[in-house]
Every structure is written in structure tokens, then in C-alpha cells.
Amino acid sequence: MTPQEVQSLRPDRNTSLRVDRPVGFLWEQEPGPDGELIDSAVLFLSNRECPWKCVMCDLWKDTLTESVQPGDIPKQIEFALQELKTADPNRSFAGAQIKLYNSGSFFDPKAIPTEDDPIITDLVQRYGFTRVIVECHPAFLGDRALRFQSLLPSTTRLEVAMGLESIHPDVCRQMGKGVDAEKYAKAALFLKENDMDHRAFMLVHPPYIRDRKSAMEWGRRTLKFALIQTEATFVSLIQTRGGNGAMEKLAEAGDWIKSTPAELKELSRFGIGLNAGRVLVDRWEG
Ligand code: SF4
């Protein structure tokens, strides 16, 4: 499916977004490396849509069609953190982690203006977060990520979440993301060599795998690749879902089969059994 076809099948996007307000924010807990629960302030930033048009993506629904201006993203972050503080005054930001998710690539200058980096890192320092997790397509990893990291205090670690999705070569070729196992491994190595952690998002039953047995087999291979070969400290399993128009069309043609809760559980157990990193099921709907 071409990017134009993917776009032509789209339902409406959320038109109520504001440039100075995040799409959403919440507190969540996730297990740390030793199994202890860590608080995370999770912010979903309003920003311009990602330049790729991946066939399974619906994240564009909560994005803007134009870039935000310098200063807008820090305003969103301040707003979310103040609201989180008001909602739960006993929870401490100090020592917690902050996830700055933008439904695209944090280091894409058309998404998050580069001028805002020092203000964002100041905010992270002021609130006492010890880990910042941003999401990014491998193509946007480079000098900006290094500069951003250098602006953080030495006590704060930078972690980048990347959408690996699947290592199945046909899926990688047809999904529209321009990433395959090799490119992903290169990006993971860049992060490792520069002392950043990385976590992988992986699709359970991606499009273009036409039978359940193969989907599970490639799911296991992808998990092994992420945790063992690329040393992801964390893998989030995401059930591929419909709702963006394109996935419904693929399902009709037999090019996508939805995973069952039992399959999701089996893959998650397999990943945990590898004993090579944390594996969680990502239940976000956004
Ligand atoms: S790169 Fe990520 S955010 Fe962009 S279209 Fe693909 S899945 Fe969606």
C-alpha cells in the first residue's frame, strides 16, 4: 500500500488539540531492572504528524498538521507536570522517570523544535527526574540526540524507545517505515556506543503475515533479536489494531490477522523466559 493509499483510507483526526497543551499525561509504574517498581510521568505531547505513513499506524490521529512553535513544547510539559502534581501531591518527581512521547520522533526538528532542547532538559533537571525516555525513528538519531544528552545532568540517563515492529523482511519492506533489522541494529549500536539505553516497541501479529503459526514464530524471532542481539533493556509488546482504515482493508484481503489474548500471553511468557530484559504488554490505546 502506498503512503497516499494509506492516507486516503484514514478516518478523521482529533481536531481539538492545542499547541500549548499535551494530548494527555498520566502516572504509571513499570518494573525497573531489578524488578522494583519505578514511577513514570508519561506525557503525550501535541506536535506535528510524523513524516512516515506506516500502514499499521494510528498515532497520527492525535497529532497536528503543522509544526508547533519554539516554546510550545516546554509549556505542554510544565502544564502536564503541574497537573500531575496537583492530582497526586504525595508522589515525587525526584528519582522518577519521565516519558516524553510525541507519536513520532522526538529528535525530528519539525516535531519538537531543536531550540527547546535546553529548556526541556532544564525542566527535567528542575523536577529531579533521573531518566528521560523519548521515542525516535532510527533516521533521526544523530547529533541532536548527543547534544540533548549532553544537556542533561550526569545523574539523568537518556533512553530512546524505537519501533522495531518486526524483523520479518516482507513486513519491514511493506510496512512503509523504512526500517529493517539491519538499520535497527545500527541505531541500537549508536545508542549503546553513546551510553544511552534503548527499548523496543514490537508488534504482535504485524500486517503481511498471513497465518498465525508464522506470526508467532516471527514474534519469537523478533523478541530474541531485540533482547539478545540489540540488547534492548525493555520490549513493549503492542497488539496490532484496526481503526485506521488501512488495517481494515488488509484484514479483508487476508493480509492481517488480529492476535488473540492467548497468543499475546504466550509471546510475553516467551520473552520473559529469555531472561535477557524486561518484557511488558503495552495496553495504551493512544
Ligand atoms: S514511524 Fe512510527 S509514528 Fe511514524 S508513521 Fe510509522 S509507526 Fe507511525
The CATH architecture annotation of domain 3-281 reads Alpha-Beta Barrel (3.20)
Average per-residue pLDDT for the chain: 96
**Which of 108, 110, 177 to mutate for ligand 1's pocket (most ligand atoms within 8 Å of CB)?**
177
d(C-alpha 251, C-alpha 38), whole Å: 38
Res 286 pLDDT > 70 = no
- Each domain of the chain, given as residue ranges in start order, spans 3-281
Task: Give the model's confidence band at 284: pLDDT under 50 very low, under 70 low, under 90 confident, else very high.
Answer: low
Q: For residue 272, list its beta bridge partners.
A: none
Tell the residue nearest (CA) to atom 3 of ligand 1: 104
Read off the pLDDT of each residue in 212-233 and give the average, rounded to a whole number: 98
* pLDDT tens digits, 69-125: 999 999 999 999 999 999 999 999 999 999 999 999 999 999 999 999 999 999 999
Nine-digit cell string for 255:
493480509
d(C-alpha 128, C-alpha 169), whole Å: 42
Phi then psi for residue 180, to 5 deg, are: -130, -175
Is the CB of 163 within 6 Å of ligand 1? yes
Cα of 139 from ligand 1 centre, angstroms: 12
Cβ neighbours for 49, distance < 8 A, ≥ 6 positions apart: 60, 63, 64, 65, 103, 104
Is the CB of 54 within 6 Å of ligand 1? yes
Q: The cell 508464522 sits on which residue? A: 214
Supply the Cα-derived Rg of the chain in whole angstroms.
18
Dihedral sign computed on CA atoms, order 169, 286, 64, 69 = negative
